[in-house]
Amino acid sequence: MANSFALVLRDRNVDAIDQWLVAADASMTTEFREFASSLRRDLAAVRAAVTLTWSNGQTEGQVNKIKMFKRPMFGRANVDLLRARLLHAA
């Protein structure tokens, strides 16, 4: 079941989403039924995620970089020090 959902995403097969949701509803596994239910709540977004090529990977990478710098100085510094550390690292 999980492999077939991964295949839908990997192949970007929008038509297979509906078939997978029907199969998930018929599944004996509660988690698959709940996951299918949550996907149905915003099916338009799921379809868009499968078909569109947009990615927020670059944004997530920058957020992780900032968190990496900020974590060691938790509670010890303000935004000015964080800014200085980020600019010095670049």
Overall pTM surpassing 0.85 (yes/no): no
Is pLDDT at 82 greater than 90 in this prediction? Answer: no
Is pLDDT at 47 greater than 90 in this prediction? Answer: yes
Distance, CA of 88 to CA of 76 (rounded, Å): 18
Question: What does the pLDDT read at residue 90?
Answer: 61
Domain limits at 80? 57-89
User: Do 65 and 34 fall into the same domain?
Assistant: no
3-state secondary structure of 52: coil
72/47: higher pLDDT = 47
The count of structural domains within the chain is 2
Is pLDDT at 56 greater than 90 in this prediction? Answer: no
Closest by Cα among 64, 21, 65, 69 to 46: 21
Calculate the dihedral angle through the C-alpha atoms of 37, 38, 39, 43, rounding to the nearest 10 degrees: 90
User: Do 44 and 74 fall into the same domain?
Assistant: no
